[in-house]
Every structure is written in structure tokens, then in C-alpha cells.
Amino acid sequence: MKERNKRQEVDAEFGVDSRYASSRARKADGQALMKARLERMKNFSEEDIKRAKLMQLKLQMEDYLSKPVCSEKNFFTNFLSSYIDTIYSKRSSFANDIDITPVRLSQVLNNHRDPHEEFMLRLMVHSEKAFQGVCEFPQKTWYQIYYQDKICDTLLNEDEWKPKAEKHVKLRYDKKKK
């Protein structure tokens, strides 16, 4: 019996070929699996769901930073909204917890106002606490996302700011003293 188990382990570790023979087989398998999964999902703990959502957010933020996409979308406020909604049922509770007014938070989330430095620092401290015991969350992440958005925004709106900026810029080399 022991020898049989060892043999199985050796075979199992060399690999698995579990490619579906047909899309029909995949569909049938998926249906049976989904039925069983939906039953099991009923027993997921609130704690596990919260952990999963925070990890998902962190993985998505890392993914964005590893291959940033320049678009009109504001990733910082999108990620921030997800972060708050994962932890709180009311956004005003988050505002209270980092000691800012709900109005100010709303302005940041709606892209009507930039987050000031204090906001960013408090968000960093808040995240450190929230991710404790969940997974490692590098302190610099929020700043990286924020500045990545700024870079994209600047590049996308070059036509707007460049003509104005050019009026104020000259390039004159000083004559070097002999």
C-alpha cells in the first residue's frame, strides 16, 4: 500500500494533461462543477471574502503598474473606491477613520480635487493596517498609481498644455568663459 502511494506521488508530480476533448465536454464539466461550487460558496466566511477582495485589489494594482495603460480612466480613484468599498459599507466611515471630511473624500473620488499629501500619507498608514495579516502591501503602491495616472494624463493632454508652456520656454546656451 505504501509503495503504491509512493508510485502515485511520482506519477502525479510529473504532470497532468487535463485538456478537454471537446467544448461539449468542457461545458458539461463546467455545469457540474458550478452546481457544486455554488453550494460550497454558501459556506465561505466573511473574513475569507474580505481577504480575497483585498488580495484581488493588490494583484490588480500590481498588474497595472507592471504594464500601465494610458487612458482617460483615473486608475487611482478607481482603485481607491474599490479599496474603501471592500472595507466599509459607507464611504463616510472611511473619511472619519482618516480624519477628513466626507465632502473632501467625495471630491477626490470624483476627480474634482487632487488628494493632498496628508491624504496620501493617511491612506498609506490605513492600508498598512488593513493589509496586515492579509498579504504584503508595499507602502509606495498608492503613490506609484497616483503618479502613473499623472504621467498618463500629462501625455494624453499634451495638446492642451504644451502651446502655453512653450511660450515660457527658451533654450539659450551660455557662452562658456575662456
Partner 1 sequence: MVVLEVETGEIHKVVIEPVESKDFRKLTKKRYFFNWKEERDQELYKIRRVDDAEILGLVSFERIPLEWRIHIRLLTVSIENKGKEKQYARIVGNLITFVAKEALKDYGEMSCVSLIPKSKLASHYMGTYGMRQTGVTLSVELPEILELITRYDHEGEK
Q: Is 56 in the site for partner 1 (CB under 8 A)?
A: yes
Q: Quick check: 3 binds partner 1 (CB under 8 A)?
A: no
Our CB check for partner 1 shows the closer of 31 and 167 to be: 31
Provide the minimum distance between the beta carbon of 4 and partner 1 in the complex, in angstroms, as a whole number: 9
Contact residue for partner 1 among 53, 91, 113, 126 (CB under 8 A): 53
Q: State which residue, 15 or 163, has the beta carbon closest to partner 1.
A: 15
Tell me: does residue 18 bind partner 1 (CB under 8 A): yes
Query: Is the separation of the CB atoms in 153 and 71 below 8 Å?
Result: no
Q: Does 69 bind partner 1 (CB under 8 A)?
A: no
CB 74 within 8 Å of CB 149: yes
| Residue 167 C-beta: closest distance to partner 1, Å | 46
State the sign of the Cα–Cα–Cα–Cα dihedral 166, 156, 107, 134.
negative
What is the full DSSP assignment across 73-116?
A: S-HHHHHHHHHHHHH-SSHHHHHHHTT--HHHHHHHHTTSS---
CB of 20 or CB of 161, closer to partner 1: 20
Site for partner 1 in 122-141 (CB under 8 A): 135-136
Nearest to 80 by CA among 36, 64, 27: 64
Q: Looking at beta carbons only, is 62 or 153 nearer to partner 1?
A: 62
- Using CB under 8 A, pick the residue from 2, 3, 36, 164 that binds partner 1: 36
- Residue number with CB closer to partner 1 (80 or 95): 80
DSSP character at residue 138: -
Q: How many CB atoms lie within 10 A of CB 146?
A: 19
The distance of closest approach from Cβ of residue 155 to partner 1 in the complex, given in angstroms and rounded to an integer, is: 26
Report how far residue 144's alpha carbon sits from residue 120's, in angstroms, rounded to the nearest whole number.
11
Q: Which stretch binds partner 1 (CB under 8 A): 31-39, 68-76, 114-122, 138-146?
A: 31-39
The answer to whether the CB of 172 falls within 8 A of the CB of 162 is: no
Which residue bears the cell 533654450?
171
